[in-house]
Chain A
Amino acid sequence: MSAPDGPILFHLGASHHTTPLALREKLALPPERVDELHSRLSPAGPAELVVLNTCNRVELYGVAAAPADLAALEAAFCSVTGISAEEFAAIRAHQTGAGAIRHLVAVAAGLESQLLGENEIFGQVKDAYAGAQASGRAGPVLNRVFQKAFQAAKHIRTHTALNEGQVSVANVAVELAATIFGELSAARVLLLGAGDIGEKTAKAFRSRGAAALTVANRTPERAFALAKSLDATALPFEHFARHLGDYDIIVGSTAAPDAVVRAADVIAARTRRRALPWLFLDLALPRDIEPEVAGLDNIYLYNLDDLAKIAAQNLAAREAEVARARALAAEKADALWRQIVSRHGG
């Protein structure tokens, strides 16, 4: 499979490790470019080919009959993406045989992700493989390699803490809400401000099942626009203090120079909540919520620093698992490589 005169199992591509965002944009291979790549290769090029295209990586996994096919693929790739061979040579990652499988397993397990241990990549690799299957580009070798790589990635995720704990502020905020309210489907969320971090947090709440989202912003147009994009409702900013008690989770993300949620308003609104637990997430700088709120019974207040610290702790916990996860990936990949060699020859 990797002998100079035999078929070569390979991985070729570039990722966030070596390639800046601007260049990654150039390298992207959306479906129409993949078709173009195939048409340029035909009838030469690899016998099997899977194209993995995400915002952090463009990778080609394949089986080439000879080194010349690999060179043809590289030339076609540069031609389709419009970058020079020298430019690509400076950023490219290329491995063959067991190394290629190790890389695939590591990618699918989230070990190579920008956000270490993230889950989305697993689905993206699956989609890439499904696309190759649908177009008849995945043959007996890649079928086995990808299916076994998925099993290995699942094994790594299950047997290490690589994807435990959230590592982004928005997801940490949502996880925190779940530790207080359990299922978030019944939780009512009020988003103060329509900035970037508030929007990300609102989207994270929505993805975890929060059904009742309300947006209040000083500029009503922005509140309405964000509410529309989130399928939420908008509330006039000047009225939010009167309605505080209606919400279980208050997310502060305005650009106001002073606190917009005052302890006095919270104390007044507590009567309506009948002492139910209440979560305040202050994602603004300067802070949106007066710190005195934290001293009240059954109220939990987290600011940006608190959430960032939890995210950092979770990330550190994930990083501590990297060596173990890589060892598992290598073990699984090497075993698979031995199977491939014995079945398809070396």
Chain B
Amino acid sequence: MPPITDRTWLWLAAACYLAGAALGTLSLLRERRHSRAVMYFILAAGYAFQTFGLYLRGVAVKGCPLGNTFELVQFTAWSAATLYLVVGPAFRLSLLGYGTALLSAGLSVTALLVPAWDAAKRIHIFGGNAWIELHAALALFSYGVFGLLALVAGMYWIRDHGLRSKQVGGAYVFLPSIRDLDQIGLRLLAAGVALLAASLAVGSVWWLREPSTVNLVKLLATVGVFVAYSLALALRLTRRLVGRRWAVACALLFVAALLSIVPVDSSRHASPAAATPEVASR
């Protein structure tokens, strides 16, 4: 019997998220509403497994598990699930649970299926500096928020497309209203930008103190994501980016944010200042 490792728990979490995604998909195909309580329970179970898996990983790497692409993607999925479990019921947005299950399943399974992303575990990468750890965790958490925003934006696009093509029956009846999606999308966008701003503020204190440790690629990528989302927020607040264009922008920005994780992580490996001991993957 193979040993139970952090990856075992993360696989269990992925299985729960997949179960939620399957339940939602089947309900949609059968044009039946799934129970929000059941979806919440499935996501909560996945979240508990993922939290424990990431905790074990954190103990192993002696810090917040954000040392390689696998951990970064897992943490983003965990952030999206956290946000749904905390604020999802308040939003009362149908299909948000299903969307979260899809997003978290997609991210978790992809991370688990790409061995190269977890080829090396880097321990003690924050050097015991809690502020840098907070900076990284906040940044990744904002990515989880942006993930949920992309989901809401996707639902908005589908709802808008249905209304324009005069399709309001079938699975469309389960989608929330345009106004609800618009308002919740705005809240998520503002929350994500605030979290990323807080992350950059915390990080900048350290950068100003130790400029030599700043990795230019990472700095440019993170600031680029922040500027892009801030611009989207400003345009949305002045109602110059609304409707379908807003939905497409939010989805594309999240893809860009996810893609930025890879060069950020690679640059950390290459950076002498960020060099940290590595341990072979299990």
Enumerate chain A interface residues (CB-CB to B < 8 A): 161, 164-165, 175-176, 178-182, 274-277, 294, 297-298, 300, 302, 306, 309-310, 313-314, 317
User: Across the interface, which residues of B come within 8 angstroms of A297, CB to CB?
Assistant: 242-245
User: Across the interface, which residues of B come within 8 angstroms of A317, CB to CB?
Assistant: 169
Residues of B143-176 whose CB lies within 8 A of A:
159, 163-164, 166, 168-169, 172-173, 175-176
Option from B163, B175, B239 in Cβ contact (under 8 Å) with A275? B239
| B180: Cβ under 8 A from any A Cβ | yes
User: Across the interface, which residues of B come within 8 angstroms of A300, CB to CB?
Assistant: 163-164
| B129: Cβ under 8 A from any A Cβ | no
Q: Which 4 pairs from chain A and chain B are nearest by CB?
A: A182-B177, A298-B243, A275-B242, A274-B239
Option from A274, A275, A277 in Cβ contact (under 8 Å) with B178? A277
- The answer on a CB contact under 8 Å between A181 and B177 is yes
User: Across the interface, which residues of A come within 8 angstroms of B163, CB to CB?
Assistant: 176, 179-180, 300
Known contacts A176-B168, A274-B239, A317-B169; is A181 also within 8 Å of B244 by CB? Answer: no
Q: Which of A165, A181, A298 has the most CB of B within 10 A?
A: A298
User: Across the interface, which residues of B come within 8 angstroms of A178, CB to CB?
Assistant: 177
Q: Could you give 6 example pairs across A and B, Cβ below 8 Å?
A: A179-B163, A179-B177, A179-B178, A180-B179, A275-B243, A300-B164
- The answer on a CB contact under 8 Å between A310 and B168 is yes
Beyond A180-B178, A275-B239, A302-B166, 6 additional pairs, beta carbon < 8 A: A179-B168, A180-B177, A181-B178, A182-B180, A274-B239, A298-B243
* Chief secondary structure at chain B's binding surface: helix
Known contacts A310-B168, A314-B169, A317-B169; is A298 also within 8 Å of B176 by CB? Answer: no
Chain A nearest CB: distance from B169 CB in Å?
A: 5
User: Across the interface, which residues of B come within 8 angstroms of A314, CB to CB?
Assistant: 169
Chain A nearest CB: distance from B186 CB in Å?
A: 12
User: Across the interface, which residues of B come within 8 angstroms of A276, CB to CB?
Assistant: 239
- The answer on a CB contact under 8 Å between B179 and A181 is yes
Could you tell me the distance between the alpha carbons of A175 and B168 in the complex, rounded to whole angstroms? 10
Chain B nearest CB: distance from A341 CB in Å?
A: 36
| B118: Cβ under 8 A from any A Cβ | no
Known contacts A297-B244, A300-B163; is A277 also within 8 Å of B169 by CB? Answer: no
| Residue interface bits B197-210, CB-to-A below 8 A is 1, else 0 | 00000000000000
Residues of B219-272 whose CB lies within 8 A of A:
239-240, 242-245
User: Across the interface, which residues of B come within 8 angstroms of A275, CB to CB?
Assistant: 239-240, 242-243
Chain B nearest CB: distance from A277 CB in Å?
A: 5
Could you tell me the distance between the alpha carbons of A179 and B155 in the complex, rounded to whole angstroms? 12
| Residue interface bits B53-80, CB-to-A below 8 A is 1, else 0 | 0000000000000000000000000000
Option from B166, B175, B177, B244 in Cβ contact (under 8 Å) with A310? B166
Could you tell me the distance between the alpha carbons of A188 and B234 in the complex, rounded to whole angstroms? 27
User: Across the interface, which residues of A come within 8 angstroms of B177, CB to CB?
Assistant: 178-182
User: Across the interface, which residues of A come within 8 angstroms of B182, CB to CB?
Assistant: 277
Could you tell me the distance between the alpha carbons of A116 and B252 in the complex, rounded to whole angstroms? 45
Could you tell me the distance between the alpha carbons of A297 and B176 in the complex, rounded to whole angstroms? 19
Could you tell me the distance between the alpha carbons of A178 and B173 in the complex, rounded to whole angstroms? 11
Could you tell me the distance between the alpha carbons of A317 and B172 in the complex, rounded to whole angstroms? 14
Q: Which of B159, B166, B175 has the most CB of A within 10 A?
A: B166
Chain A nearest CB: distance from B163 CB in Å?
A: 5
User: Across the interface, which residues of A come within 8 angstroms of B173, CB to CB?
Assistant: 164-165
Closest to B242 in A: A275
Could you tell me the distance between the alpha carbons of A309 and B242 in the complex, rounded to whole angstroms? 29
- The answer on a CB contact under 8 Å between A182 and B243 is no
User: Across the interface, which residues of B come within 8 angstroms of A298, CB to CB?
Assistant: 242-243
- The answer on a CB contact under 8 Å between A310 and B169 is yes
Chain A nearest CB: distance from B171 CB in Å?
A: 13
Could you tell me the distance between the alpha carbons of A280 and B166 in the complex, rounded to whole angstroms? 13
User: Across the interface, which residues of A come within 8 angstroms of B168, CB to CB?
Assistant: 175-176, 179, 310
User: Across the interface, which residues of B come within 8 angstroms of A175, CB to CB?
Assistant: 168
Could you tell me the distance between the alpha carbons of A300 and B31 in the complex, rounded to whole angstroms? 25
Closest to A305 in B: B166
User: Across the interface, which residues of B come within 8 angstroms of A310, CB to CB?
Assistant: 166, 168-169
